[in-house]
Chain A
Amino acid sequence: MEGQFWDIRLETISREELEKLQLYRLKNTIQRANASLFYRSLFKQFQVKPDAITKLQDIQNLPFTTRNDLSSHYPFGILSVERSEVVCFHSNSGAFAPKKGIFYTKDDLSAWSALVARSFTTAGMVSTDILQVMVDFGLQNTGHGCEIGGEEMGVLVIPAGNISLHRQIQLMKELGSTVLYLPAGILPSLVDTFYDLNLTPTLDTDVRLIIAGEDLLTPQQKNKYDNLLKIPIIRSYGILEINSPGMAIECEQQDGMHIWEDYFLVEIIDPVTLKPLPAGQWGELVITTLNQEAMPLVRYRTGDVTRIIDKPCGCGRTHQRLDVVSQRLDDLFFIQGRALYPIQIAETLKRVPEVGDNYVIYIDTENNNDQLIIEVEVVDNLYLDNYGKLECLTKNISTRIFEETKVTPRIKLVQNNHFIQQNIKHLKQVVDRRNKS
């Protein structure tokens, strides 16, 4: 056994004891969930008796919770406590994205900060580290989670949100940051910026560890950026509607992410039959929160495809490991480290009268970076008069998309009826042509 623990007792708890704790917490969770409008009616509909849970497997008799359930009961429908008891709220930022919100009580916040501290310690961070958090702070929860988790550990936290990568690198040099938390999607631009500034991360900064969250990071990508930066990259898993970060993280073995099973009951299901799959098989990750007070979630379908690595880990932790998230089942996609729904683009385009409602979204790799390309039809022929007007139109669309998504797209205007005429198969869809290696 090597490496650091935040809470050695809970992290190395025997499976038997862990399952006992899970069952106790599951029973509480179902009781608590039943206090929300959404679950009360869902349980009624499925004839779930909150006190009928006697063993962990009984969870399989409970109904699922989906992303649509969260949006359609946003914001208060899934709240299980009095509104006066919640102290914090997080949500997604786009005006047209399906809304997901999460509330925290005071106890939720302290549990969350302990989980983040546990996660970051597992990743290899220690109290003398300086943590630079390279995500936007605000409505999304990632920045907040990193901040409270880092503070819990006693590290210096630099909330470096919404600034250029050049400034990020300045901060690393000025303050001597040793650990970076970042969305995996900005790794390519970070490498480029170091290169442009003629700096070598290992020589010109003290950064010794990178924790990458949010986005999928394939094994090939991880290898590539490990080699380019010469700094180990640790994967972190979390979702907005529960905890991000603070759900699962890689230990120094870097072979799967330990998911904190004292807080989260994990199932992998076949997304078609919805039947649970045995450990080791790839399927959709389903999470039941075991300790959330404000907003417990029961059998929440994350939309993330992964599998459980069903082998003891060399680090000594007994919590199961999740493999790399290999794909998403819904239409959420990540670009340049930001989560986007195609509907955000559809709704934005609807508000531009000069273009049609049809579009195709392409994601390409250009100069190692993600590029969002939106093809859209010009329907207003008055715009054909001159290039200036067409350029204004593309700029206008690009600005609006940026406002909504914080990603700058390249707008490709095509002629009216282009999609029908050319028999384009991916109408209103995302075509991901990125180089995943």
Chain B
Amino acid sequence: MSIKQLSIFLENKSGRLNEVLDILGQKRINIAALSVADTSEYGILRLIVSDPVEAVNLLKDKNFSVNLTDVIGLETPAEAGSLARILKPFADAQISIEYMYAFSMKDKGIVVMRTSNRTLAFKVIEENNLKVITLDDIFKF
């Protein structure tokens, strides 16, 4: 049910992001979602790509510090208030969101998030009938 996300440690130096994107681009690996936050010294680049395992190997070969993390993908209708509606059950169950990023296209919104207590998170998803999406779904958009 989870999506494999790439987490890449990036030094805060110009050109580092480009290096990663070039390596993936040359092997025709598609990027569906990307998030990078900055701190003063370093950043963590988070990517959802078409072939995560291959991407990890390619980056490791180039000496990048990278790993795969399980994250949850949820689909919401792209309408006002929908994100609040799907996140509320998590808050009610005392599950904290470590980080998330979201985007919407046409009539759909997609939320990618990493939560504490994943087992409980999936229980909440089931009980509230939330729509989980997989990597395949994302690339079928």
Measured CB to CB, the residues of A under 8 A from B are: 378-379, 381-382, 384-388, 390, 412-418, 421
Interface size on B, as a range, is 10 to 19
23 chain-A/chain-B pairs, Cβ below 8 angstroms: A379-B65, A381-B66, A384-B9, A384-B44, A384-B66, A384-B67, A385-B7, A385-B44, A385-B69, A386-B44, A386-B98, A387-B39, A387-B44, A412-B42, A413-B9, A414-B11, A415-B9, A415-B10, A415-B63, A415-B65, A416-B63, A416-B65, A418-B11
The residues of B that contact A414 with a CB separation of less than 8 Å are: 11, 42
A412 CB, min distance to chain B CBs, angstroms: 5
Most chain B CB within 10 A, of A381, A382, A386, A388, is at A381
* Cα–Cα distance between A417 and B65 once the two chains are bound (Å): 9
Most chain B CB within 10 A, of A378, A382, A388, A416, is at A416
Q: For the complex, is B141 an interface residue (Cβ under 8 Å from A)?
A: no
**When the two chains form their complex, are residues A381 and B67 in contact, meaning their CB atoms are under 8 A apart?**
yes
Main secondary structure of the interface of B (DSSP, over half): strand
Checking A384, A386, A387 against B65 with a beta-carbon cut-off of 8 angstroms, the contacting residue is A384
B34-51 contact mask (Cβ, 8 Å, vs A): 1 or 0: 000101011010000000
Measured CB to CB, the residues of B under 8 A from A are: 7-11, 37, 39, 41-42, 44, 63-67, 69, 98-99, 114
* Cα–Cα distance between A413 and B44 once the two chains are bound (Å): 12
B101 CB, min distance to chain A CBs, angstroms: 13
B140 CB, min distance to chain A CBs, angstroms: 28
* Cα–Cα distance between A385 and B11 once the two chains are bound (Å): 15
Most chain A CB within 10 A, of B42, B66, B99, is at B42
A244 CB, min distance to chain B CBs, angstroms: 37
* Cα–Cα distance between A388 and B41 once the two chains are bound (Å): 14
The residues of A that contact B65 with a CB separation of less than 8 Å are: 378-379, 381, 384, 415-416
* Cα–Cα distance between A409 and B114 once the two chains are bound (Å): 32
Most chain B CB within 10 A, of A382, A387, A421, is at A387
Most chain A CB within 10 A, of B7, B8, B9, B11, is at B9
* Apart from A382-B67, A385-B44: 16 A-B pairs, beta carbons within 8 A: A379-B65, A381-B65, A384-B9, A384-B65, A384-B66, A384-B67, A385-B114, A386-B114, A387-B37, A387-B39, A387-B44, A390-B44, A414-B11, A415-B9, A415-B10, A418-B11
**When the two chains form their complex, are residues B63 and A417 in contact, meaning their CB atoms are under 8 A apart?**
yes
**When the two chains form their complex, are residues B63 and A385 in contact, meaning their CB atoms are under 8 A apart?**
no
Take A384-B9, A386-B98 as given contacts and tell me if A415 and B41 are in contact as well, using a CB distance cutoff of 8 Å.
Answer: no
**When the two chains form their complex, are residues B42 and A413 in contact, meaning their CB atoms are under 8 A apart?**
yes
* Cα–Cα distance between A414 and B65 once the two chains are bound (Å): 9
The residues of A that contact B41 with a CB separation of less than 8 Å are: 412-413
* Cα–Cα distance between A382 and B9 once the two chains are bound (Å): 11
* Cα–Cα distance between A267 and B29 once the two chains are bound (Å): 69
The residues of B that contact A379 with a CB separation of less than 8 Å are: 65
**When the two chains form their complex, are residues A378 and B98 in contact, meaning their CB atoms are under 8 A apart?**
no
* Cα–Cα distance between A41 and B42 once the two chains are bound (Å): 55
* Cα–Cα distance between A24 and B11 once the two chains are bound (Å): 64
